[in-house]
Amino acid sequence: MQKNSPRFERFKLALGISLRYSRGKRKYFLSMNAFLAFVGVFVGTSLLVVVMSIFGGFQAQLKKSIFQFDPHMMLTVDRITGGEKIAGWEKWKERLTTDLGTEIESVEGNIQSPAIFRRRKFLDHVFVRGMDFARNAANHTYTIPDSFPEIVEPAGVRKIPEGDYAIIGREMALNLGLSVGDSIELIVPRGQFNLQTGVTPSIRTFKIAALFKTGHYNYDTKVIVLSLPTAQNLYALPDAVQQLVIRIKDTDQLSKIRRKVARAWPYTIRTIEDEQRNFFAALRLEKTIMVVIVFLFIIAAMVGIVIATFNIVRAHRRDIGIMKSLGFSRRNILMIFAVTGMAMGVLGSISGILAGVGLANNLESVLHGIEAVINPIGKYYAEHFSHSLWTDVRLIPRDVYYFDHLPIDIDWKLLRVLGYVSVGLSVFASIIPARKAARLEPIDIIRKAEV
């Protein structure tokens, strides 16, 4: 369309008229009709963003706690128990490291075995994990790698001494009243199973060197981490490991890398997804359902746009008659009302998404703010009138949710799709009534109006 051509002028006119129709009579920013539709879309999209972010945050947190602590791939030689020794494991480690190159974070030898835990009269079963920490010969310590979960006590320490020292989960320590420096006892089968003698138990005392926290309750109550030499010593498996564990950089590439590993490793390979199959399936299902609900939400908002645009068309039937009598074409009329509807949808979607992102990022302060408003009122009521339950409201109860802050994870990819879809749907939603407007015959409008 050429600038300043009559067609371009008519295009500008149509835009101007639709703007006036959305705005009302210069009094408000939006006319009542347009405003209500705008609010519908705005509230819908912003809530969606918040809900999606919290949901995604919880999922990401859960996934992270698992991916952070569990090995991503476990290579063993025995399909059934995984308890067989791997001969020459250090050579295998070298070979896998060179084969897989940059895609992996580490290959380590590792012992993982059940054990009985004893503290005075208390007995429980736990899992012992002997991990291949880097050794500092100079000061007789092991360095805990960055990929290991957070050490909460002593805070920030990334070293444990050589010898019989263990790292246990924070929840286990809380449950049993243990702290750093206390002793615990582990009872494990010594050596390998033998038909004639069975197994001989090995009992040993460890000092707690540190407490870790994964955010996953099962790990934080059931797993005891030792350095590999300490574990080898405990299980009487000198210089041997039961499995090779691989951590990869991009966990989304898990199945691809697994195929690569399978070419080098002729025995059993299990991945974290095999181990936690149900868990991951549940997460995926949750996500799918959430996306479906997201779209239902948007569709509901779009119905709002259709209704509002219909109302605007109905309120302007006479204007349509006038404009047609002035020679406005169907296309001009279509455009006027489609743009009016679209403006509501597009404005609502964009501002809703922005507000949702803002709210999601500050959700914790917002909730604390609400608490700060509710609690003094409840307290005042309790002091002056009668007993009130509303004196210590906590909108984020610490003891119910295992996370100590509200996890928020904004999925920008899904957000972009949400943006496209809601803008696209609002175009569609506004075109339906606009087409109806364009098809009105001036003679019908004028004759009806005069009766």
Sign of the Cα pseudo-torsion (378, 382, 388, 394, in order) = positive
Contact present, 276 and 282 (Cβ < 8 Å): no
Closest distance to other proteins from the beta carbon of 20 (Å)? 5
Closest distance to other proteins from the beta carbon of 389 (Å)? 52
Q: Report the residue number, 11 or 295, with the smaller CB distance to other proteins.
A: 11
Q: Report the residue number, 13 or 178, with the smaller CB distance to other proteins.
A: 13
Q: Report the residue number, 7 or 405, with the smaller CB distance to other proteins.
A: 7
In the structure encoding, which two tokens stand for residue 354, read together? 């922005």
Q: Report the residue number, 22 or 61, with the smaller CB distance to other proteins.
A: 22
Q: Report the residue number, 20 or 207, with the smaller CB distance to other proteins.
A: 20
Closest distance to other proteins from the beta carbon of 5 (Å)? 7
Q: What is the DSSP pairing of strand 223-227 with strand 165-169?
A: antiparallel
Q: Report the residue number, 34 or 73, with the smaller CB distance to other proteins.
A: 34
> Residue holding tokens 């706690």?
65
**SS3 for the chain, per residue?**
CCCCCHHHHHHHHHHHHHHHHHHCCCCCCCCHHHHHHHHHHHHHHHHHHHHHHHHHHHHHHHHHHHHHHCCCEEEECCCCCCCCCECCHHHHHHHHHHHHHHHEEEEEEEEEEEEEEEECCEEEEEEEEEECCEEECCCCEEECCCCCCEEEECCCCCEEECCCEEEEEHHHHHHHCCCCCCEEEEEEEEEEEECCCEEEEEEEEEEEEEEEECCCHHHHHHEEEEEHHHHHHHHCCCCCECEEEEEECCHHHHHHHHHHHHHHCCCEEEEHHHHCHHHHHHHHHHHHHHHHHHHHHHHHHHHHHHHHHHHHHHHCHHHHHHHHHCCCCHHHHHHHHHHHHHHHHHHHHHHHHHHHHHHHHCHHHHHHHHHHHHHHHHHHHHHHCCCCCCCCCCCCCCCCCCCCCCCCCCCHHHHHHHHHHHHHHHHHHHHHHHHHHHHCCHHHHHHHHHC
Distance of alpha carbon 360 from alpha carbon 49, whole angstroms: 7
Binding residues (CB under 8 A) for other proteins: these are 4-10, 12-13, 20-21, 24-25, 318-319, 321-330, 332, 441-443, 446, 449-450
Cβ-count burial of 23 within 10 angstroms (0-12 exposed, 13-18 middle, 19+ buried)?
middle
Distance of alpha carbon 380 from alpha carbon 112, whole angstroms: 57
Closest distance to other proteins from the beta carbon of 430 (Å)? 18
Q: Report the residue number, 186 or 343, with the smaller CB distance to other proteins.
A: 343
Closest distance to other proteins from the beta carbon of 442 (Å)? 5
Closest distance to other proteins from the beta carbon of 284 (Å)? 51
Closest distance to other proteins from the beta carbon of 344 (Å)? 16
Closest distance to other proteins from the beta carbon of 341 (Å)? 17
Q: Report the residue number, 291 or 446, with the smaller CB distance to other proteins.
A: 446
Closest distance to other proteins from the beta carbon of 332 (Å)? 8
Closest distance to other proteins from the beta carbon of 340 (Å)? 12
Closest distance to other proteins from the beta carbon of 328 (Å)? 6
Q: Report the residue number, 11 or 381, with the smaller CB distance to other proteins.
A: 11
Q: Report the residue number, 10 or 135, with the smaller CB distance to other proteins.
A: 10
Q: Report the residue number, 6 or 177, with the smaller CB distance to other proteins.
A: 6
